[in-house]
Copies of this chain bind each other. A is one copy, B any other.
Amino acid sequence: MKSNIKYAVGVDLGGTNVKVGIVSDSGKIIKKTSIDTKASEGPNKVVAQIITAIGQVLNNNKLKIKGIGIGAAGVVIVEKGIVENPPNVPGWKKVKLASIIENYFHIKTKVENDANAAAIAEMMFGAGKKFHSFIMVTLGTGVGGGIIFNKKIYRGNFGAAGEIGHVSIDYQGQQCNCGSFGCVETFVGNKYLVKRVQTELSYHKDSMIWNLINNDLSLLTPLIIEQALLKNDYFATKVVADLGKYLGIALASVANAIDISTFIIGGGVSGFGTPLIKSIQDTTSSRVLKSLKDKIKIIPAKLKNDAGIIGASSLIFYKS
């Protein structure tokens, strides 16, 4: 009996790891691997690592592969298969990644911005299934966003749509990597978050975070904050509530501007769970225009650890 299940390869190109998997058209991972990106060795090495990782999952593969999808940070010109300036790969300007991979494996290949890929994946397999329009927000080193409008990804005129992280909530705030000031990313991006908590911890001598980091501030990570939160540490609780507040302020502005009222929250710090979601919900609802107040929905992403791989593979199953 012949199976009608289709398969694709999903490639999650991060600054630290290249994660690759074979994924079914229902979003199930059949086989996966993860290798070092070796970003510091430059773009050619990174491309070689991608090829190596794809080769590993395709080795001895008997399934019919419909295509290879690659999710990458940075600006992606989808029609041309080009990835531009991914922030974590020094020296990478413009690489025609899709055609390189396609020519190597003779398998149709698509590239997409990783936040857009995550949005497509949540729409097809995750928390976004039942919504016509929503904005996917990925919290990590940066704050990414993908806009699904009427069941389609909305890329904007130049492929830059959904850069929610660079909505400024304080025009006199600290300078962001992007050059602007007070972007919400400077309030909730991992790096900034860790830095702020490091600074403020000295005023919270009785926070259990001190124990978790053995009194060594350099050991602080979002995961430590999450552990303290789960143990009801008062300071971690406040940090996460603040995080939700800052993000909620930005989302209220976005909702007012484009009247999309459903936001799906994913990415690394989504481990902060319900306290984070509740804080975002409260702030966004309290700040949007009256006509939207009852309509704001803040929802946790469904796809967790392998969201990047599944998101990338979904590019192949997605008909735009």
> Chain B residues near A253 (CB, 8 Å)?
166-168, 253
> Chain B residues near A84 (CB, 8 Å)?
291
Q: Which of A95-120 contact B (CB under 8 A)?
A: none
Minimum CB–CB distance from A74 to chain B (whole Å) comes to 9
**Copies of this chain, whole number:** 2
CA distance A253 to B75 in the complex (A): 17
CA distance A159 to B290 in the complex (A): 12
- CB pair A133–B157 under 8 Å, yes or no, is yes
- CB pair B166–A169 under 8 Å, yes or no, is no
- CB pair A170–B167 under 8 Å, yes or no, is no
- CB pair A287–B249 under 8 Å, yes or no, is no
From A49-57, A229-237, A258-266, give the one contacting chain B: A258-266
> Chain B residues near A158 (CB, 8 Å)?
259, 261, 291-292, 295
> Chain B residues near A29 (CB, 8 Å)?
none
> Chain B residues near A169 (CB, 8 Å)?
168-171
Q: CB of A252 within 8 A of chain B?
A: yes
Q: CB of A145 within 8 A of chain B?
A: yes
Q: CB of A161 within 8 A of chain B?
A: yes
CA distance A170 to B7 in the complex (A): 47
> Chain B residues near A258 (CB, 8 Å)?
147, 154, 156, 161-162, 257-258
- CB pair B290–A178 under 8 Å, yes or no, is yes
- CB pair B167–A256 under 8 Å, yes or no, is yes
CA distance A156 to B252 in the complex (A): 15
- CB pair B249–A162 under 8 Å, yes or no, is no
CA distance A246 to B170 in the complex (A): 11
> Chain B residues near A157 (CB, 8 Å)?
132-133, 259-261, 295
- CB pair B257–A162 under 8 Å, yes or no, is yes
Minimum CB–CB distance from A114 to chain B (whole Å) comes to 16
**Which of B147, B161, B170 contacts A172 (CB under 8 A)?**
B170
Minimum CB–CB distance from A278 to chain B (whole Å) comes to 19
- CB pair A256–B171 under 8 Å, yes or no, is no
* Max count, chain B CB within 10 A of own CB: residue among A159, A249, A258: A258
- CB pair B259–A155 under 8 Å, yes or no, is yes
Minimum CB–CB distance from A149 to chain B (whole Å) comes to 9
- CB pair B287–A168 under 8 Å, yes or no, is yes
5 new A-B contacts, CB < 8 A, other than A167-B253, A257-B258, are A160-B259, A168-B169, A168-B287, A169-B170, A171-B249
